[in-house]
């Protein structure tokens, strides 16, 4: 079994794409009839703009209700340097955490919708 995709409801797809591309280093993919998603390894994060969600959808889609963890091969020092340059505050970390398949070293930031984004290295 595997996770194929998940959905984030956001206020602005453009702002979300810009943040995840620049701050986190994710690739953006276009699919269907021009929809955008964020590529995370073999999975993706589909984006629904609040008030213009695709059916079917969550019962109460709300920007800012997400809490996700993205494991990167990039060093956390490099990620932290980029976040500082972009003026994105780090809420917590680096801290030791436990992920789905083992130990992580993580930092936490907020995206434009205030979703909590954990950026981690496997340890």
From the list 49, 53, 74, 118, the catalytic residue is 118
Q: How far is CA 103 from the centre of its chain?
A: 19
Hey, how many other C-beta atoms are within 10 angstroms of the C-beta on 31?
10
Is 55 labeled as catalytic in the residue annotation? no
Hey, how many other C-beta atoms are within 10 angstroms of the C-beta on 90?
16
Where helices occur in 5-93 by DSSP H, the ranges are: 13-19, 76-86
CA angle 116-94-3, nearest 5°? 45
Q: Which residues are catalytic?
A: 118
């Amino acid at each position: 079994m595997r996770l194929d995709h998940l959905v984030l409801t956001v206020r602005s797809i453009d702002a979300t794409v810009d943040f995840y591309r620049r701050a986190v280093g994710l690739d953006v993919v276009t699919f269907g009839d021009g929809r955008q998603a964020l590529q995370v390894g073999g999975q993706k994060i589909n984006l629904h703009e609040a008030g213009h969600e695709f059916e079917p959808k969550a019962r109460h889609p709300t920007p800012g209700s997400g809490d996700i963890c993205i494991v990167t091969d990039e060093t956390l020092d490099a990620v932290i340097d980029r976040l500082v340059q972009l003026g994105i505050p780090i809420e917590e970390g680096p801290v030791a955490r436990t992920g789905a398949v083992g130990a992580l070293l993580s930092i936490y930031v907020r995206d434009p919708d205030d979703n909590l984004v954990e950026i981690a290295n496997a340890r």
